[in-house]
Chain A
Amino acid sequence: MAKGLDIGTMNIICAEREGDDIIFMRQRNAFMKLDSSDLTKNMLDISKVLYIEENGEISLLGEDAFKFATIFEKDARRPMSHGIISPKEKEAIPIMKLIVENVLGQPKSQNEVLYISTPADPIDADMNVLYHKKTMEALARGLKYKTHTIDEGLAVIFSELSDWNFTGLGISVGAGLTNVTLAYLATPLMSFSIARGGDWIDEQVAKSTGLPKEHVTSAKETGSKLGKEIKIGSTEGALTVYYDALMTYVIQNLNRKLGEITPPNVAFPVAIAGGSALPEGFFEIFDKKLREAKFRIEISKIIHARDPLNSVARGCLIAAKTQEEKKYGKINLPPKKEVHNKKHTKKWRK
């Protein structure tokens, strides 16, 4: 068995196979502190809320922390910012260890292969992802997994561009960072990230509209539509403006970075994924902008990931499965079994 893990600023997503299915387990990468009392604990246990208790304080974890923060109009604390472990959050590493443990579960076999997505170094911010990468590796290794890392952009390519022999440009628009990788026959030619993503958009929109950031995030994720025809004063107008700004910024930086390499003379398809690529109308605007941009490489096709949110985790799972098959030959998959909780079933392939 192999697993793929996408450790993002907003979500931690684990992908694993079961029969002919892939199961994605997703948990918000957030926590929120509450005062501890027996009554609160009982209520949380009855409501099946994910929490931990330490030094007389309760920390709500994951999606529930986010929901409570929205209800109480408080800020959910985030263990990660800009794609890496937040230096401002002292409790970040133990909290993340617990969230990762919760999502990942225990390995089903000895030395089970696990691929973790890691961001590339940002080109517009003075920060290095190396410490984050090593810490994440150590977290997973602590759970007895045979851990490897993969660039987020390359994971998108593995997930979406197999029909092009893993040649193309993979863009993952995440919450903290936007990761870009150019690969030729599964070999990365260029990888970088931009220190702007969904969080940057939320901050800008919150500043412009005066709404709390969590409200903007919630509005963005629950059916916002980007486009030209927008109601006056709605968050969608501000979202469209800042999404447009982000796309222009990504395209400009991408073209600048392409000037530094000599890619092979082929037409590259582009795959776009990531949790911040979910709003309706995003793909149409990005597609238009990419086609209008005068790139240093030829673009053959622009592909919107079939499941943008889970695309990176799926790419990690493909890498892990490939690695495991290479090592042990073809693996026999375990039979299907029921998984608790909210369950959605959909067909990945068209």
Chain B
Amino acid sequence: MHKDLQIDDIPKSSGILYRGEFIYYIGSLIFGTGIASLFIGTAFIMIFPLHSKSDPGEIILTTMLVALGIALILIGINIMMRHTKYGKYIVIVSSLLSLIAVLIFVLSYYNNYWYYPLISYVIAFYVIGFSMLLGNAFANIMLWTIRGKTEIATSGEDKGRIYTDEEIQRDIEEATRKSMELVASELQFEISNSDIKNIKVGEAFYESRGTVTRVKDDMDESQTLRQTISPGETEKWGSIGLDKASVQLAKTLEEQTTEKKRFVDIKGRIIKGWEKFTSFLRLK
């Protein structure tokens, strides 16, 4: 019984998202905390209910939870991704910018320093951090998508092809055989004379070469073989050789031509018959 295997998975080890397990747990934790924080912050907006005259404590808590939640979601996503060369520095800088912006907001609002130009600085910090986190995540996703498509394009013929156990086994055997042949081709086996130096041979050993059969044979196959293997070698036997090679090749392909001719004849008869039938209908 064959178990079929569908080759449609992109190898995980070569994917851009490949990271150690621990970093995924950290990223997921931060992402989850961000979602929870955003959810609670949004809930507070409705529970309090929040407006311009609300208690500063309620405003700080709600805004902090929402702003922190958004930042943490993006940080979590970025942590889980495999980064480009400067990717991790972008994540660190942008995360710090966002978190510092939230911290300054909390402190300044609490201490009643929430005025211009501090507001613009804080918002600028937060927007830059947010944009960098979002941009980095977007760039990584795009890169992953492009690489994924390349991988699929290179194995386009195989996509969706089903390999049987037998085919896989055959491929493995072929690869093993090639590898063994490569190793063996570099080896030079030498037969040691020490194995036979103590051997004494009988008198008949050098007198007889076994059962001898003599056959009358001109062995012209070797010339044909030379011509078959190297068809370009015509200078030594000229046009006669070329003619002979052509005749032999024609003979090899004769059967195929006969079959084709037979097929063409049948096809011709069918067309002729159809034409007769249509002209008969037209007359009617």
Residues of A participating in the B interface, judged by any CB pair closer than 8 Å? 12, 14, 17-18, 20-27, 41, 44-45, 48-55, 62-63, 93-94, 97-98, 102-103, 105, 121, 128, 130-131, 133-135, 137-139, 142, 158-159, 162-167, 185-186, 260, 265-267, 298, 300, 307, 310, 314, 317-319, 321-322, 325-326, 339-349
Contact = CB atoms under 8 A, between A and B. Distances in A.
A49 B207 CA distance: 10
Interface in B201-221: 201-205, 207-221
Contact of A138 (B181, B190, B219): B190
B281 interface: no
Given A20-B217, A346-B215, A186 B189 contact: no
Contacts of A133: 184
Contacts of A27: 209-211
23 contacts: A14-B209, A21-B216, A22-B214, A24-B212, A24-B215, A48-B208, A51-B201, A53-B202, A93-B191, A131-B184, A135-B191, A138-B191, A142-B190, A162-B220, A266-B256, A300-B255, A318-B222, A322-B225, A322-B226, A326-B230, A340-B207, A340-B208, A342-B211
A318 B221 contact: yes
Contacts of B239: none
Contact of B221 (A21, A41, A158, A326): A158
Nearest to B211: A26
A50 B208 contact: yes
B225 A318 contact: yes
Interface in B172-211: 177, 180-181, 184, 187-191, 195-196, 198-205, 207-211
A90 to B, nearest CB: 10
Contact of A62 (B201, B210, B253): B210
A105 B189 contact: no
Given A134-B187, A166-B228, A22 B215 contact: yes
Interface stretch (B70-78, B125-133, B143-151, B244-252): B244-252
A158 B225 contact: yes
Interface of B: 170, 177, 180-181, 184, 187-191, 195-196, 198-205, 207-226, 228-230, 245, 248-249, 251-253, 255-256
Nearest to A186: B228
Contact of B210 (A26, A54, A165, A167): A26
Given A55-B198, A93-B191, A138-B190, A341 B212 contact: yes
Given A45-B203, A52-B201, A134-B189, A165 B249 contact: yes
Nearest to B202: A51
A44 B202 CA distance: 8
Given A164-B252, A165-B228, A266-B256, A307 B215 contact: yes
Given A186-B228, A349-B216, 4 more contacts: A22-B217, A26-B210, A44-B204, A345-B216
A142 B222 CA distance: 26
Contact of A54 (B199, B219, B224, B253): B199
B215 A21 contact: yes
Contacts of A345: 214-216
Contacts of B224: 162, 165-166
A21 B195 CA distance: 36
B240 to A, nearest CB: 15
Among A50, A163, A319, the most chain B Cβ lie within 10 Å of the Cβ of: A50
A142 to B, nearest CB: 5
A267 B255 contact: yes
